[in-house]
Amino acid sequence: MTAPTEAPRQIVIVGASLAGLSAAHALRDVGYEGRIVLIGDENEPPYDRPPLSKQVLRGLYSAETSLPQRADLNATFRLGVGALGLDTLAHRIYLSDGTQIVYDRLLIATGTRARPWPNGAEAASSNVYTLRGHADAEHLARGLAGKPRRVLIIGGGFIGCEIASCCRDLGLDVTLAVRGALPLVHALGSVTAAFMRDVIRDRGVDLRLETEVARFQPDADSRVVAAILRNGQRIEADCVVAA
């Protein structure tokens, strides 16, 4: 049996952010003339995420960082619905609004989700944040605009370090809790990570290495007022970012 040579009539891309939109542009670049459908669980059209942890938090940009689309893209966007299931034999995708969509070819370009704080009750506190999308950035920006006494950021990856830098630009005291011996070590290697450690501290960030947060301490209104570390130490903070 030989593979079919007929061009697909409908290509579905699950993930309507930068990767998905770039794939749609690439299909048009190579001359694909069939139908393109992009599925995204956010209500916004494709937008640029990197500024969310930088210029948006500083108040320099609006959270509306929509990406440009070529005039001849001619794609259908199914926004505000998630892809819940996939039948590869029937070439069918099951969506969160109860509808289904068929495809001739499928591309999954969903990216990752922000990992929330594992304790659901603590994560639900009004001053505990994560950062991935528009709504997260707007929520956190409002929290930082309230001038918290100290921001605690849990996680020493790019997002955590960028948010810490933003906090210092805003004149906020910030503690960055990193589980490992160096921040960014998995992404940059030990030599560059050691350099970044010094840069972060020179920026005025209270960098805590080999530090794990065990739990949060709430007040009577269930707002976090401090974090308790595995070693029993206590860090006062009235704004917490799980990064």
Main-chain dihedrals φ then ψ at residue 233, nearest 5 degrees: -70, 160
Q: Which pLDDT belongs to residue 149?
A: 97
Whole-number pLDDT of residue 63: 64
Percent of the chain residues past pLDDT 90, beyond the cut: 78
Q: Which CATH code, of 3.30.1330.200, 3.40.640.10, 3.50.50.60, 3.40.718.10, is assigned to 120-242?
A: 3.50.50.60
pLDDT at 148: 98
CATH superfamily to which 10-108 belongs: FAD/NAD(P)-binding domain (3.50.50.60)
What are the tens digits of pLDDT across the range 33-57? 999 999 999 998 898 887 788 777 8
Average pLDDT over every residue of 68-95 = 95
Q: What's the pLDDT at 175?
A: 99
pLDDT of residue 5: 56
pLDDT in tens, 193-202: 999 999 999 9
Is the model's pLDDT at 1 over the cut of 60? no
CA pair distance 174, 98, nearest whole angstrom: 44
Other CB atoms closer than 10 Å to residue 219's CB: what's the count?
11
Average pLDDT over residues 159-164: 96
pLDDT band at residue 2 using 50, 70 and 90 as cut-offs = very low
| Summary mean pLDDT of the chain | 92
Which among 140, 111, 129, 142 is positioned nearest to 46, based on CA atoms? 111
Closest by CA to 102, choosing from 93, 115, 89, 112, is 93
Domain range summary for the chain, segments of one domain joined by +? 10-108, 120-242
Whether residue 212 is predicted with pLDDT greater than 80 in this model: the reply is yes
Q: Residue range 96-111: average pLDDT? A: 95
Helix (H) / strand (E) element for 169: namely helix 158-169
**pTM greater than the 0.95 cutoff:** no
How high is the pLDDT of residue 227? 98
Query: 121-127: long-range contacts (C-beta < 8 A, 24 or more apart)?
Result: 122/215, 122/216, 122/218, 122/224, 123/242, 124/222, 125/216, 125/218, 125/222, 125/223, 125/224, 125/240, 126/222, 126/223, 127/223, 127/224, 127/238, 127/239, 127/240
CB of 202 closer than 8 Å to CB of 195: no
Q: Do domains 10-108 and 120-242 have the same CATH topology?
A: yes
Is residue 59 scored above 80 in pLDDT? no
